[in-house]
Structure 1
Amino acid sequence: MNHNDIVRQSFKKQAEKFVAYHMSKVEYTDYLIQKIAATGEEHALEVAAGTCICGRALAPYVKDITCLDMTEEMLAQGIRLAEESHIENIYFQSGNAEKLPYEPETFDLVITRLSFHHFDNPEKPFEEMKRVLKKGGKMVVWDMEAAEEPLREIDDKIENMRDPSHTRILSREEFEEMFKKDFALQCEETTLVPVNLKSWMELTDTSEDVQEEITNLMKAELEGGRKTGFSPYNKDSQIMFDHRWLLLIGVKK
């Protein structure tokens, strides 16, 4: 099974639960819309769109938006929710972020959210997104930011235990390096997003034994043991941690 098959398999399981998960909260999409500051004239593209959370939120603020993903079950949820909300300027495309089916400089705005840590070769989809973006257009990448260097390996290991489609979380510096040559960065902000450990593992249908192993690693850190990169804490008798979401918005030179 290649990595794309692993991604499809993982998100096929998540499709129905994904919509209700914390990552869909209006407060996050409102923040994103505010930061993008669309004019209403943009032809927009959401890459690795999943259930099209960003695309559906952005639709009222752009001319039109296309949502592309390679997991049919995720796109089906996006289509259903767009229809329920009577969104008419949204289109859906099955496709791979590593080979976008569009001509160069097609879009005014290209966005992807929480996708890069699922890519085998993150430079490849980034280059594709850049290729289809017009000069003067905005590239928006909102993804997790890596833990500090000594803890990155164990952090990624735990993420992969929970979801085998996870590859590697990039650092702020790695994201900056991709943007550096052809973009002027307008925004670079980190937001802490609280996550309930149990709900996080249930979203991906993580097996009971792996859930127990991950929970024990978190409990050990809470008791002063080995650090995981998650910095877990207790809240209302539940184990929580904060994901670091890094938002970068660049204008193509």
Structure 2
Amino acid sequence: MNHNDTVRQSFKKQAEKFAAYHMSKAEYTDYLIRKIAATGEEHALEVAAGTCICGRALAPYVKDITCLDMAEEMLAQGIRLAAESHIKNIYFQSGNAEKLPYESEAFDLVITRLSFHHFDNPEKPFQEMKRVLKKSGKLVVWDMEAVEEDLRIMDDKIEKMRDSSHTKILSREEFEEMFEKDFTLQCEETTLVPVNLKRWMELTGTPEDVQKEIIDLMKSDLAGGSKTGFSPYNKDSQIMFDHRWLLLIGVKK
């Protein structure tokens, strides 16, 4: 099975639960919309859109938005939820972020959320998003930010145990390097997003024995043992941790 097949299989399992998961909360999409500051005239594209959480939230603020994803089950949820919300200016496309089926400079705004840590070659989709974006258009990347260097290997190992489609969380510096040549960064902000460990593993259908192994690693970290990179903590008798979400908005030169 190649990596794209692994991604499809993973998100096929997640599709029904994904739209209701905490990462879909309005507080996060509202924050994103404020930061993008769309004019209402943009032809927008959401890449690796999943259930089109950002696309559906952004639709009232742009001329139109197309949501592209390779997982049919995730797109089907986006289509259903957009219809329930009576969104008329949203379109859906099955496709691969590494080879976008659009002409160069076709969009005023391109956005992707929580996708880069699933790409096995992040530079390819980044270059494709840049290609389809008009000059002076905005590229919005909202993704997890890597922990300190000495804990990155363990952090990624646990992420991959939980979800085999995970590849590697990029650092702030790695994201900046992709943007630096052809973009002027307009925004670069990190938000801490609290995550319930058990719900996080249930979303991906992580096998019970693997869940137990991850829980044991977190408990060891909490007790002062080997660090996981997650900095877990207890809240209401539940193990929690904070994901670091890095928002970058670049204007294409």
TM-score where L is the length of structure 2: 1.00
**Unmatched segments (≥5 aa) in structure 2:** none
Tell me, what secondary structure is at the counterpart of 2:75? helix
**Equivalent residue of 2:35, what SS?**
helix
Number of the residue aligned with 1:248: 248
C-alpha distance in 2 between matches for 1:161 and 1:239: 17
Distance 1:125 1:19 in 2: 24
Distance of 2:196 and 2:223 partners within structure 1? 18
CA distance in 2, matches of 1:30, 1:66: 19
Give the deviation of 1:140 after TM superposition. Answer: 0.1
2:36 aligns with 36
List alignment gaps of at least 5 residues for structure 1: none
Cα displacement (A) at 1:2: 0.1
Name the counterpart of 2:193: 193
Paired position in structure 2 for 1:26: 26
Matching residue of 1:5: 5
Give how far 1:230 is off: 0.1
Correspondences of 1:159-174 after superposition (within 5 Å): 159-174=159-174
1:198 deviation in Å? 0.1
AA in 2 matched with 1:115: S
Report the counterpart of residue 141 of structure 2 in structure 1.
141
- Measure the CA separation in 2 of the matches of 1:137 and 1:229: 35
SS at match of 2:110: strand
Q: Deviations over 1:45-90 (max 9, x none)?
A: 0000000000000000000000000000000000000000000000
Distance in 1, Cα, partners of 2:21 & 2:198? 12
Runs of 4+ aligned residues of structure 1 deviating over 3 Å after TM superposition are: none
Q: Secondary structure at the match of 2:79?
A: helix
Matched, 1:86 2:89: no
AA in 2 matched with 1:132:
V
> Structure 2: how far apart are the matches of 1:167 and 1:35?
28
Aligned partners of 1:147, 1:186: CA distance in 2, in Å? Answer: 23
- How many residues align structurally? 253
Counterpart-to-counterpart distance in 2, 1:115 and 1:167: 10
User: 1:157 corresponds to which residue?
Assistant: 157
Counterparts in 2 of 1:207-218, with a 5 A limit? 207-218=207-218
Partner of 2:228: 228
Q: For 1:169, what is the secondary structure of its paired residue?
A: coil
User: Aligned partner of 2:57: which letter?
Assistant: A
Identity of aligned residues (%): 88
Which residue identity lines up with residue 99 of structure 1 in the other structure?
K
Distance across 1 between alignment mates of 2:94 and 2:182: 28
List aligned pairs for 1:10-159, cutoff 5 A.
Answer: 10-159=10-159
- Alpha-carbon distance, 1:189 to partner: 0.1
Q: Distance in 1 between matches of 2:83 and 2:7?
A: 26
Deviation at 1:136?
A: 0.3
Q: Deviations over 1:180-207 (max 9, x none)?
A: 0000000000000000000000000000
